[in-house]
Amino acid sequence: MTVPTVQLNDGNTIPQLGFGVFLVEPVEAERIVSEALETGYRHIDTAAIYRNEEGVGRAIAASGIPRDELFVTTKLYNSDQGTQSAYDAMQLSLEKLGLERVNLYLIHWPSPAQDRYVESWRALEQLRKRGQTVSIGVSNFMVPHLERLLAETDTVPAVNQIELHPYHQQPEVTAFGAEHGIATEAWGPLGQGKYPLLELPEITAIADAHGKSAAQVVLRWHLQQGHIVFPKSNRRERMVENFDLFDFELSADEQASITAMERAGRVGGDPFEVK
């Protein structure tokens, strides 16, 4: 089974489906990521603040999978924003991951109260030139933050990783991304289990019609919207389920009925407020 890729604005590609490791305990990370790699995932989304980069790195090393078949993302945390601090944070992440370079390095949050995201972005531009990351992007950036990067720096982010699920689709920032060639990565694609998305009749009816699970329907909706997704699960059977998305397709009406569920229902932090 081949996962489709999304073309990025810098000429690189990213597997559209990956595996996220937010809230994966450091002691469990090696086992869980090893299981994900055995399942077939080749794109792993971690972050310095998840404290599990070492486990991710050990799983990658133990897998024997050639490095060029893997896509690894990590993120610069808010407290490391700046120039030298970003260089140091990147170096530390690479050491923990046991890698010479990541495929994608993201500014985790704009943290507007610090007002250092433009400076940090210039540091990421340098990190890419040095070869420590192949692509650079941002996370949790809203339109004003993106507008500032576009006005004040030379590089358009390859991706913007934002909270995105049927109750919170962020139409304004995804439209801005589409207009400027910034790919959208959807974090919390299943709503982080914080509302009963997988029990809603609009979703379960579609799942029954296709003989698939509610989670598979929601993830399939994301793929057909063009989002890049990396659902997280500690359980192997759910890893398998979340990877099994390519033998069915939602109709235009089914797709539209899920899109119509939008209600500005954020479940995570507010990007304008997170420090």
Contact set with ligand NAD (CB under 6 A): 20-22, 45, 108, 139-140, 161, 187-193, 198, 215, 230-233, 238, 241-242, 268
Please, what is the minimum distance in Å from the beta carbon of residue 268 to ligand NAD?
Answer: 6
Rank residues 26 and 130 by Cβ distance to ligand NAD and give the closer one: 26
Please, what is the minimum distance in Å from the beta carbon of residue 82 to ligand NAD?
Answer: 19
Rank residues 93 and 242 by Cβ distance to ligand NAD and give the closer one: 242
- Beta strand pairing call for 5-7 and 13-15: antiparallel
Catalytic residues: 50
- Amino acid symbol at 202: E
Please, what is the minimum distance in Å from the beta carbon of residue 266 to ligand NAD?
Answer: 12
Q: How far apart, in whole angstroms, are the C-alpha atoms of residue 185 and residue 25?
A: 23
Q: How far apart, in whole angstroms, are the C-alpha atoms of residue 271 and residue 239?
A: 29
**SS3 for 193?**
helix
Please, what is the minimum distance in Å from the beta carbon of residue 167 to ligand NAD?
Answer: 12
Give the H/E segment covering residue 5.
Answer: strand 5-7
| Whether 224 contacts 165, CB under 8 Å | no
Rank residues 11 and 207 by Cβ distance to ligand NAD and give the closer one: 207
And the tokens for 119?
């400076």
Could you tell me which of 192, 241, 237 has the C-alpha nearest to residue 220?
Answer: 241
- Amino acid symbol at 207: A
Residue nearest to ligand NAD according to CB distances in the complex: 20
Residue with tokens 């909706």: 221
First-residue to last-residue Cα distance in the chain: 41
Please, what is the minimum distance in Å from the beta carbon of residue 180 to ligand NAD?
Answer: 19
Rank residues 111 and 161 by Cβ distance to ligand NAD and give the closer one: 161
Segments in 168-246 forming alpha helices (H): 171-180, 201-210, 214-225, 236-243
Rank residues 85 and 192 by Cβ distance to ligand NAD and give the closer one: 192
